[in-house]
Amino acid sequence: MADPLIGRNYTPLDHVAKVTGRARYAEDFRADGMLFCKLLLSPMPHARVRGIDTSAAEAMAGVRAIITADDLPDLEGAERALTMEPFYAGEPIVAVAAIDEVTAAAAVEAIELDLEPLPFVVNALDSLRPGGPTARTQGNVWGPPNPPGQAGPVPVQTLTWTAEDFASAADGQLPTGQHAEEWSYGDLDAGFAGAALVLDETFVVQSTGHHPMETRSAMAYWQNGKLYLHGSTQSVQRTVDGIARWVGIEPADVVLICEFTGGGFGSKGGGAVSMAIPAVLSRKANAPVMMRISREEESYIGRARTNMTGRAKIGFEKSGRITALDLYIVQDSGAYGPMGDFRSGGNAASLIYQPPAMRLRAVNVITNTPPRSQQRSPGPMQANGIIEPVMTKAAVRLGVDQVEIRRINSPEGKALYGAPLPDGSRRHITSAFIKEGLDRGSEMFNWAGRKARAGQRRGTKVRGVGVAVGPHGAGSIGFDGLMTIRPDGMLYVQSGVGNLGTHSMQDLARVAADVLDMPWEKVQVIWGDTSKGLPYSCLSVGSQTTHAMSRANHAGAMDARRKLKEVAAQDLGGAATDYEIGGERVYRRGAPGRGMSYAQAARRAIELGGAFDGHELPADIHAVTKAAASGLIGLGLMGVAKDTYPRDGDTYSFVIGFAEVEVDVETGKVTLVDYLGVGDVGTVINPRSLLAQINGGSCLGIAHALCQKLAYDPQYGLSLARRFHHSKPLTILDIPSRLQSVALDIADPETPVGARGVGEPPVGAGYGAVLNAIASAVGVDVFRRAPVTSDLILMSLEHGRRMHEPLQSHL
């Protein structure tokens, strides 16, 4: 066998297209007679559309089509691309297609909109106050999820806390009034009673816009009753159903083309509901329509992270071991939802801190702010923000080292986590090697040396060090692999996942190539166009792609390997088990001369037909894969299979972040001096990309600690962060010019390739590590919200006490 491809760096197949500008993203496509679209956005945070007069706009030369929500299918209360009751300022109400954008924009200006203003709220806690405004006429809080088996939308309910709830909360503490959801296990009271130290702290985790560099622009046209859509999505095959639903057509009538995606970070998980706009406009105008989404529009419709105000009461033994954790989260789900970040956050907290007793209570509030979606580590990152300051403070109070307190609480092996199941048992993970990661990182980062200089003032500068564990779910199972070996001797791997820069789409083909001992030059990946036969794939979200699809491609390639041997046995005698593969040949064991090349085997497979060339398909594969495979019948020897490999436990990955900061106590400026991310993410498939994921994900967490956030004007309910400049994403000058990262490269025992996902765990690691480093420099009680901007630090240091309490607003 040749050296495996897994574990080696390589040049991604599409990199030359990227560096030459030939890679085409959605807005780079053109079609004859292409019209341009502009949107009329709601100027109010909550209103009812009483009337729309488009007559003047329709009469304008060059205007070809105008649509409203009435042109879109009803989605049973779920978000649509256009609305008659805007729930946030910036929500699209009308879309116009015209011969150019200037004309479309002029037409938008000419539309008369009659809006009835309705009560609104942009702050979740304001909505919980007695007599507080509700974001919707039906209420302000999402009810708990429907019981299993019960379909339909989650109900909206009204929930307010009492004046006593607010009065009884101490200064700076989140009141804990009536909650909407709860789970618990263990004896909480006993845990606190037996604790050597109990801390109870409130923290405000901000919302941030996803803001991928490529906005959700899309271009659509129709041909022979089929919709062709050039869009930007994280998950190509899994976006088709969404488009069909949003437009109101059958999935079979959707062709999605998305070979390159300019980032998503969770905001384009299964595409974007706004894709319906150019599609429906194009149908009405009978011409292609390009919808360019501006950065400001992206700030409204482009999704954001759920913000949370969380309160964590934690009991500790003298050693630092946690005895009990009581977590209360008020989550802001924005205008639509419901979002489950607080649940994944609670699960993650129960995993990385392993409290013997824990309770999670939560209120999931609706506000009149832009819609949220999962953002890179949705939930676990926020939970780190809420809990890590408490861990840091406890370590200081108990005199325990910051690495040690995390080590002593960290999970090992098949650790239990999460809410109890109906039978009282709890779920467990497949594996964890956090202790190894903490040890490795402490050494690499020279933790002891840096810790010695933390807190010491030199001139106006003081340094601090921090460490945090970032967890996230990192794998799913049950998807299909599909590939062919063709008479040209090449392996063609069909890939239904997205291509958003992680290179997983290609890494996964290398998994198949290794199983078939195929040199990389002989591998073609077919991706990015749903008319090309893409198998049922996971959503490219939740760090699951590498795990899920490495299993699926392993299964598909094993199927091809078995068929190669069967074809050889048919022609050359003996049983399939008598054959081996290697050097692009299948041959009789011990007699390399008695065999045939892959190219010959592919030709024979086509002659033999049946299952060999895809005429017969396995019964257990998904209907999507069957349809995809049926387009590849007779092209060569087909490998097609569902991932049925066993898995004991749920797959989680971990990144441990180590940070050193320098704070200027006269200006409040925080400078990140050094950062190390250590990945416990399973077997490394593509080292360079994996380390880039650790660095890039850590940077998102660092941005949350230092600078990035969204803000709303409470008086008018308008966004104050409509541009990059206002929302302050991380620039190249906000981090050291070198970041360090390393992967443990320990295989996960519950998956054939050993690989787990990596995209998300570093976010919570970066967030927690930098927050903790700042606390180490300036004091553990100086801030209780993020980002930790200069004014927070300066105000608190000057007054000798914390000046921005969690329930105060901070713009």
Partner 1 sequence: MEPETDLKRAISRRTFIKGVIAAGAVASSSAYLFRGGGSLLGQVSAPGSVERLITLSVNGQARRVDVMKQETLATTLRYKLGLTGTKLGCDRAECGACTVLIDDVPHYACSVLTHTVRGRRVTTIEGLAGVDGTLHPVQQAVVDEQGFQCAFCLPGFVMAAVGFFKVNPDPTRDQLAHGISGNLCRCQDYDKILTSLMRGAEYLRRA
Residues that bind partner 1 (CB under 8 A): 9, 11-12, 15-16, 18-25, 27-28, 30, 36, 38, 61-62, 99-103, 105, 211-215, 260-263, 265, 292, 294-296, 500-503, 688-689, 692, 695-696, 699-700, 703, 723-725, 729-733, 735, 737-739
Give least dist CB 292 to partner 1, A: 7
Six token digits for residue 295: 């950065």
Give least dist CB 699 to partner 1, A: 3
Beta carbon nearer to partner 1, 30 or 457: 30
**CA angle, corner 692, sides to 686 and 695, nearest 5?**
140
Give least dist CB 519 to partner 1, A: 20
650 within 8 A of 428, measured Cβ to Cβ: yes
Cα dihedral 92, 96, 99, 105 in deg (nearest 10): -60
- The candidate with the shortest Cα–Cα distance to 640, out of 540, 719, 732, 562, is 562
Beta carbon nearer to partner 1, 183 or 724: 724
Six token digits for residue 595: 């065999």
Tell me the HSE value of 149 on the side-chain side, using a 13 A CA sphere. 0
Q: How far from 443 is each of 57, 389, 437, 482, 752, CA to CA, in Å?
A: 67, 23, 10, 44, 31
Give least dist CB 573 to partner 1, A: 47
Helix ranges (DSSP H) in 322-379? 341-352
Beta carbon nearer to partner 1, 295 or 427: 295
Beta carbon nearer to partner 1, 595 or 701: 701
379 within 8 A of 310, measured Cβ to Cβ: no
* Rounded-to-integer distance, Cα 99 and Cα 629, Å: 40
Give least dist CB 540 to partner 1, A: 12
- Angle formed by the axes of helices 598-608 and 545-572, nearest 10°: 80
Beta carbon nearer to partner 1, 360 or 735: 735
Beta carbon nearer to partner 1, 27 or 514: 27
Burial class of residue 398 in the structure, from the number of CB atoms within 10 Å of its CB (0-12 exposed, 13-18 middle, 19+ buried): middle
Give least dist CB 254 to partner 1, A: 23
Beta carbon nearer to partner 1, 20 or 150: 20
Beta carbon nearer to partner 1, 738 or 799: 738
- Angle formed by the axes of helices 380-398 and 402-409, nearest 10°: 120
Tell me the HSE value of 571 on the side-chain side, using a 13 A CA sphere. 20
Give least dist CB 17 to partner 1, A: 9
Beta carbon nearer to partner 1, 280 or 500: 500
Give least dist CB 10 to partner 1, A: 8
Give least dist CB 658 to partner 1, A: 15
Instruction: Give the list of residues 6+ apart from residue 748 with CB closer than 8 angstroms, or none.
Output: 430, 431, 475, 547, 651, 682, 683, 754, 755, 756
Structure letter (DSSP) for residue 619: T
Strand ordering across the sheet containing 480-485: 523-527, 491-495, 480-485, 637-642
Phi, psi (5° rounding) for residue 657?
-100, 140
Give least dist CB 261 to partner 1, A: 6
Beta carbon nearer to partner 1, 260 or 652: 260
Which residues sit opposite 246 in a β-bridge?
Answer: none
